[in-house]
Structure 1
């Protein structure tokens, strides 16, 4: 692809992929491990699907195989922490109970999907309650490959519980409705899953910065779930699963150079959300090294300009009254010494001494306002803040391509598809401006 588009591989800062082994291996082989970034949204979805045991084939696959020996001790400690609230037998019992309740709910949903009479009655009861025709809601059935589908399915079912009960009462041959206790369990399970869904929705945007949010959001998720106190055993088990997988998949998130630098260069966060002081120090050090290199390059350019600078020796009489000033500037250039290479550049020090910006403020706008004081650091910030933390934009592109190339339009050529997809991507403000 780089050859087709004539892209210099050295100019590529980051490549975001899902967790497919072939994609990860290809990126690491071509660009190096330091330039690979796993999709944050895929990882959060993986945590959600593994925490809800609906799709699990058994209970022995809690920990991924092929673990390095030096991680075994850490993993054992994590497992001990994971089972503090519940012993193994109680957790398995809670997971089995959750599976039974969710499957019972799915049986009801499938009945409505298959029965035209039940679907019609569901719409009629909603309209009798004041819902306008065309605005009636339908039940959602989860799809394993669709993000947040389990949470959305449970949320919609709980929203329509009253109407579902009315329909099932009018149809004695229908499936058994969930009991009050089971509905309460679903409410708690849904409340435990919602933070993951809200994070995934926030991180799937394309018009704002996402890469710098990864480290803060991971920390906020851990704190949020630690403070969460569900009552039923099923929700407690789910919470323990989520905390376990959060710690497993994000235990080294602060050590990733791209994420650490992006977070540090975001004026809203800086070093605020680094749990490890060493990781925060590394982020500052990596940034400082790049800034120093840019300052060194600028000083070399100034030295080159010095050789061609028009100089008149001091004290020379002539018609140019600025000759003495020019000679002083030339002398200062000779005495110019770049910043101390052993410490932090002045720009970085000034940046660290300023307070964090408001969370809802655009970091690019903040940097536009301070770029006069931080000219070299501004260049680094615009480079690393523009990185995307997810592969959602490409996923959306594939979805649009699938909607465009249908059985009725299967004769579209490749170049025409490219042009149509490009026209779809143009903002409405550009079209009508």
Structure 2
């Protein structure tokens, strides 16, 4: 067993560390990014209210077969007839998908709402511009979420690279509106607050070593010289242990103990 990846729930983290040891615990980057984005989207009132308006419109289409039919009619000349996407409160990227699809169907949605009685109010042009800016501001986080969410391949080696890329991409953004500027500032603050732990000694024995052995990254994304030296020392220590028969025996015994603990836990569950 190399690592146990969990969300950031305090009870889950404590149970994992108590059972497997702190060196085998790793916080899920996708979950941490989700916390970053949820915090940003909920903390800024203008953004929160605008997303609520979009949700209300999307829910109207979800509850009205007539509205869905009219929406398809409005897309009759398009190659594909698309539907609006309803977001999920616990998955921030579904909010991004909802906004992006809403902008794609903006003309069709406007025509449909104007043709139906009792339909919710359409958003104003200034709000459309803000939505377009939000898509640009939030897209780096979407890319990170997609990249780190592999189910059939390891992604720990990419953690440092993705955090560095995420931070760099957000820094490069130049929002025009005042709200957009607040979103950017909030993003930078949350990245430092919630993702900075991955660049410390806490997880270097896992993601630092994984990055070092990936020929694409190696030491390129290590945050500082101290981190670099500590990872190299860890690897040197592991190599030295492998050359010592007694040390290797202890490693095997520890691995067997881990397997025994895991089996015991499974049986208890």
What's the TM-score once normalised by structure 1's chain length?
A: 0.54
Instruction: Name 1:170's counterpart in structure 2.
Output: 115
- 2:56, 2:92 → 1: CA distance? 21
Instruction: Name 2:163's counterpart in structure 1.
Output: 218
Secondary structure of 1:111's counterpart equals helix
Instruction: Name 1:277's counterpart in structure 2.
Output: 225
The offset of 1:24, in angstroms, is 1.0
Runs of 4+ in 1 over 6 A off after TM superposition: none
Which one of the candidate residues 14, 33, 36 is aligned to 1:44?
Answer: 33
- 2:233, 2:164 → 1: CA distance? 22
Is 1:143 the counterpart of 2:88? The answer is: yes
The offset of 1:297, in angstroms, is 3.8
Q: Deviations over 1:64-85 (max 9, x none)?
A: xxxxxxxxxxxxxxxxxxxxxx
- 2:19, 2:223 → 1: CA distance? 32
Q: Deviations over 1:29-53 (max 9, x none)?
A: 1111111001111111111111101
The offset of 1:223, in angstroms, is 0.9
What's the TM-score once normalised by structure 2's chain length?
A: 0.85
Secondary structure of 1:251's counterpart equals helix
The offset of 1:13, in angstroms, is 2.4
Q: Deviations over 1:254-278 (max 9, x none)?
A: 3222111111111111111112110
- 1:250, 1:99 → 2: CA distance? 23
Is 1:23 the counterpart of 2:23? The answer is: no
- 1:105, 1:14 → 2: CA distance? 40
- 2:150, 2:16 → 1: CA distance? 23
Instruction: Name 2:242's counterpart in structure 1.
Output: 294
The offset of 1:99, in angstroms, is 2.2
Give the aligned CA root-mean-square deviation in angstroms: 1.8
Cα pair 2:40 2:183 within 8 Å, conserved: yes
Cα pair 2:7 2:28 within 8 Å, conserved: yes
The offset of 1:246, in angstroms, is 0.8
Instruction: Name 1:239's counterpart in structure 2.
Output: 184
- Write the mapping of 1:245-260 to structure 2, written as runs, cut at 5 A: 245-254=190-199, 255=201, 256=203, 257-260=205-208
Is 1:108 the counterpart of 2:53? The answer is: no
Q: Deviations over 1:343-381 (max 9, x none)?
A: xxxxxxxxxxxxxxxxxxxxxxxxxxxxxxxxxxxxxxx
Secondary structure of 1:250's counterpart equals helix
In terms of fraction of residues, the more helix-rich structure is 2
What is the number of residues matched between the two proteins? 244
Cα pair 1:13 1:35 within 8 Å, conserved: yes
Cα pair 1:141 1:149 within 8 Å, conserved: yes
Unaligned runs of 5+ in 1: 1-11, 57-94, 301-433
Cα pair 2:71 2:108 within 8 Å, conserved: yes
Instruction: Name 1:158's counterpart in structure 2.
Output: 103
Is 1:261 the counterpart of 2:215? The answer is: no
Secondary structure of 1:205's counterpart equals coil
Secondary structure of 1:252's counterpart equals helix
**Is the radius of gyration larger for structure 1 or structure 2?**
1
Unaligned runs of 5+ in 2: 249-269
- 1:295, 1:234 → 2: CA distance? 58
Instruction: Name 1:189's counterpart in structure 2.
Output: 134
Is 1:99 the counterpart of 2:44? The answer is: no
